[in-house]
Structure 1
């Protein structure tokens, strides 16, 4: 009987890695980017929506 094959590589655990490891911004980085961009946004509706997102992210990191 043949021996069972072993895997050539280990199991991928990327789904367990933090988002920043995969190249996504952290909440603090998103807040910093929104702080940089918000003063330049002229559309009131878009500005309000992005400000609400930024404020929500600030509340979660505290």
Structure 2
């Protein structure tokens, strides 16, 4: 993974859409680290093939 995660230096990014989660990361550990960074920055992940919209998931774990 690059630095603190792709998207960390993109201040106006609010949603990343991917066709497959496998195209985003090579390992589950990297994917979880990336999602953690994106959650802190309010960046939503949508995966078309897996039918996942992480925006609603983030709301469940918001402090």
TM-score by length of 1: 0.37
**Richer in strand (by share):** 2
**Richer in helix (by share):** 1
Larger Rg: 1
Quick one: higher RCO (CA 8 Å, sep 6+), 1 or 2? Answer: 2
TM-score by length of 2: 0.36
